[in-house]
Structure 1
Amino acid sequence: VAQGLVSQQEHDTARIAHRTAQAALDASRRRFAQAEREAEQAEAEVRARQLAVEQARRRTEETDAAVREAEAQQAQVPVKEAGAGRAAAALEQAGADLAAAELQLAKTRIRAPVDGVVSKKTVEPGQLVQPGQPLMAVVPLHGVWVVANFKETQLTRLRPGQRATVRVDTFPDRVFHGTVESISAGTGARFSLLPPENATGNWVKVVQRVPVKIVLDDRHSNPHLLRPGMSASVTVDLR
């Protein structure tokens, strides 16, 4: 077996483990349902015994036999209460077993944290993965936005909440509408990996650009049209 691949035996073992977890979950559910029925039956028997005791006590004035029957019924009440307590404990244990079985079953599946489109995949079918290993990059389907780098001289009247229109080179005849959500606290050059440093003492004024985040309206947030990294031109209504 090549390094990083899973053998057929390991694949079968994983499949058997999944089936075993599913079977354990089903068995726990059946035990939980049985324990619940037994608990309800025990509680019903307790109520019936208590009712019988009360009825027998009312008949004590009529006959001595009724008195003896009432005493017998009274003696059965603690026994039935103890049985109800055991049934309740069994029900609680069955619930814990069910939760554990569901957890084990959930661990046999890998789920993405968000809904989206896979944009980069780093694994192949049959490859062995480790906990914490990145498997793929997922681009969320909802909440599409554009980052526009405006000149610092264009920010005088720019405010969050202003409406904006966006055009992308891929769809030149289509206009997307959105709203200015935020303006970066610093220029793009200041937060770059290698910010400019004036080590020679010579200073040349260069107009800096500031990132501005524009969130597109929901009706324009079509993940099948826009992709991360596309070039776009943005116009903000300053009125």
Structure 2
Amino acid sequence: MNWKHILLILCAVVAGIALGAGFAGFSGRIGPEQTTAGSALAAMPEPVTETVPAVSIGTTLIRPADSAVDRVTAAGNIELVDTQQVVARVDGYVDEVLVEVGDVVGSGDLLVALDRDDLRRAVDQARISLTSAELQLDNLLAEASAAELAAAVAELKSAEENLAEVHNGASEGELAAARSNAASAWARYDDLRNGASENERIQLAAAVENAHVAMQEAQTEYDKVAWREDVGMTRQAAQLQQATISYGSALAAYEEAVAPASQADLQSALSQAQTAQQQLDDLLAGPTAVNIAAAESQVAAARSRLDTLLRGADETDIELAQLSIDQAQLTLLEARLDLIKAELVAPAAGTVLRVNVDESDRISAGTVAITVADLSQLQLTIDVAEVDIPKISVGQLADVTIDAFPERVFAGMISGIEPSSSAQEGVIDYPVTVRLIDEALTGVRPGMTAVATLRSESADARWLVPTTAVQENDGETVVMKSRDEDALPVAVVVEGVQGEWTVVRSTQLQSGDEVFGATTFVKQEDEWVPFSGPPPGAPGAGGRSP
């Protein structure tokens, strides 16, 4: 049976009740107790239908049952259930800030990116190191080729020949070459230190003078044909050019000879002469213990490489190579993790509350960059007196009113009761957290002043609904709750009937709910009175019972 059929049945039932009540003259018990208003109506002359208000099928606001227990009311301020701080996990410079305060983000959205160039290079370097370690292990496991064996044999032979030469000392040819090199180096140093001799200077000056005369004679011959258009192609032009070059070269040689050597040139020449002399002295002294040891070390290394190729790698070499691979893999993993850590993402969906960094900022690991919170997850903390603590428990429902929305009642639920108390001026209170579970929290903001009314489960679960609202649907007792102009069946347990009102129990109903159904009488101040419709402008006017 759908809700449209139920509404048709409701129309018929309500109409029947209204006509029955009119013709009976209200002679029976209308409400849970006989009222003076009911007696007055019974004494009125017929037709009594003129005193019964016209009933229209609409919705009726449910009411708490009369058996409700004590309620606990306390005030507090709306606050966020939780805030998520996005913390930098590596040091670096901020490259991008992709959000602003107030932006709505989803879980995993990129919020801040650090500069990742160095981190990418670290990943590449770690990958290269891993590849190198893997190749080394492959080489150990692979058999040596003929070319590798031949190269190893040649290397060993060369090392052994070098060792023999070291033991035998320098040959006569090597000594002669060393003596010549040392003599030449010292002669150059002496020339720089002493400068050119007097005869060399006279010769260089004469060369300069001869070159100058030759250049003047060439200039004279050139001047004789300078008028010609093709003078550049003449013999005189070529001779003048050659004479000019010769003069410049002679002049430069003279100036170099007469100029004193610089300190840097002298120091360089001296160093070269000393090095050449040391080499000659070493050859004359014969091989030293250090020379012999170095040559023997080269022979040992070459022989070890050859032996390794011949017998293959042993277990220790293979194990060391595998350890190098493991270390390289770990280094690559850490480099990749650091690269991932350079991207700060939202830990959960929510709204950005604070942005603490700017682009180009240098931040360190542990810096709080972004703060995010889900603005739909709200709560308030109230102080409940010690005498009221036994009346409440975690999971208990509550009605929450907010000063900014005086006409609305929000659904809440106790999510926590502090185990320790606070005492102020002799009053013992316990902090109690009430979580807002209402689906419609648009406009509700942290910091707003609110009042929570805590009721026991019996008070929250027992409600007065119009008797006409109680229906059977597929073998289940239900009332049709109004929701977004639609009818939602809610299962109830009937506990008793009070005239046109029925006491039902249901955890799916809460204060502020409306159900489809109507009454001709309502209870006001412990007395049943005729219902003449809601006052003009009141909520529900025009089809909804109070």
TM-score, L = length of structure 2: 0.26
Structure-2 change in CA distance of 1:11 and 1:115 (3 Å): closer
The answer as to whether partners of 2:399 and 2:453 remain within 8 angstroms in 1 is yes
Q: Which whole-Å deviations, capped at 9, do the CAs of 1:116-146 have from their partners, x for residues lacking one?
A: 5333445544555566665555436686432
Q: Quick one: distance in 1 between partners of 2:439 and 2:356?
A: 30
What residue number does 2:393 align with?
A: 159
Structure with higher Rg: it is 2
Aligned to 1:160, what secondary structure does the other structure show?
coil
> What does residue 119 of structure 1 align with?
353
1:173 is aligned to: 408
Instruction: Pick one of 420, 436, 441 that aligns with 1:185.
Output: 420
Equivalent AA in structure 2 for residue 214 of structure 1 = V
Distance 1:16 1:144, change over 3 A: closer
Aligned residue for 2:339? Answer: 105
CA distance, structure 2, for counterparts of residue 221 and residue 38 of structure 1: 66
Task: Sort the Cα spacing of 1:42 and 1:82 in 2 relative to 1 into closer, same or farther, 3 A.
Answer: farther
Unmatched tracts of structure 1, length 5 or more = 1-9, 47-74, 197-204
Is residue 164–residue 178 contact of structure 1 (8 Å, CA) maintained in 2?
yes
Report if the CA contact (8 A) 2:421-2:428 is conserved. Answer: no
Q: What aligned pairs does 1:47-196 form with structure 2 within 5 A after superposition?
A: 79=313, 81=315, 84-102=318-336, 104-105=338-339, 108-109=342-343, 116-127=350-361, 135=369, 137-139=371-373, 144-170=378-404, 173=408, 175-183=410-418, 185-187=420-422, 190=423
Secondary structure of 2:391's partner?
coil
Question: Aligned-pair distance for 1:159?
Answer: 2.6
Letter in 1 for 2:399: T
Could you say what secondary structure the match of 1:25 adopts? helix
Query: Does 1:236 find its partner at 2:471?
Result: no
The structure, 1 or 2, with the larger RCO (C-alpha pairs under 8 Å, 6+ apart) is 2
Residue 431 (structure 2) aligns with: 211
Secondary structure in 2 aligned to 1:177?
Answer: strand
- In 1: Cα distance, 2:401 partner to 2:120 partner: 51
Deviations 1:156-194 (A, max 9, x none): 41233323333434555362332342145223xx4xxxx
Q: Which moved more, 1:130-139 or 1:172-181?
A: 130-139
Larger strand percent:
2
- The amino acid that maps onto 1:235 is T
Matched AA of 2:120: Q
Q: Which amino acid aligns with 2:380?
A: V
Instruction: Give deviations 1:180-218, integer Å, cap 9, x for gaps.
Output: 42145223xx4xxxx66xxxxxxxx7x66542112345x
Say if 1:134 and 1:88 are closer, same or farther in 2 by CA, change over 3 A: closer
- How far 1:94 moved relative to its partner? 0.8
Q: Percent identity?
A: 22
In 1: Cα distance, 2:350 partner to 2:381 partner = 20
Going from structure 1 to structure 2, the CA distance change for 1:236 and 1:123 (only over 3 Å counts) comes to same
Cα gap change, 1:30 to 1:117, in 2 (>3 Å): farther
Change (3 A) 1:82 1:144: same
* 1:112–1:181 Cα change, 3 Å: same
Counterparts of 1:177 and 1:170, CA distance in 2: 17
* Residues 77 and 130 of structure 1: CA distance in aligned 2, closer, same or farther (over 3 Å): closer
| Separation of aligned partners in 2, 1:32 and 1:221 | 56
Counterpart Cα distance in 2 of 1:181 and 1:76: 76
- Structure 1 distance, partners of 2:128, 2:448, is 54
CA distance in 2, matches of 1:78, 1:234: 82
* C-alpha distance in structure 1 between counterparts of 2:368 and 2:94, whole Å: 21
> Match for 1:20 among 118, 139, 150?
118
Listed one character per residue, the Cα deviations across residues 42-65 of structure 1 (whole Å, up to 9, x for unaligned) are 89879xxxxxxxxxxxxxxxxxxx
The AA in structure 2 aligned to 1:212 is: V
After superposition, the CA RMSD in angstroms is: 4.7
2:446 maps to amino acid: P
* Aligned residue pairs, count: 182
Contact conserved, 2:394 with 2:417, CA < 8 A, in 1? yes
Moved more, 22-31 or 78-87: 78-87
Q: SS at the partner of 1:22?
A: helix
CA separation of 1:124 and 1:174: change in aligned 2, threshold 3 A: farther
Cα distance in structure 2, aligned partners of 1:175 and 1:16: 43
Q: Distance in 2 between matches of 1:170 and 1:77?
A: 89
The 1-side partners of 2:368 and 2:404 are apart by: 30
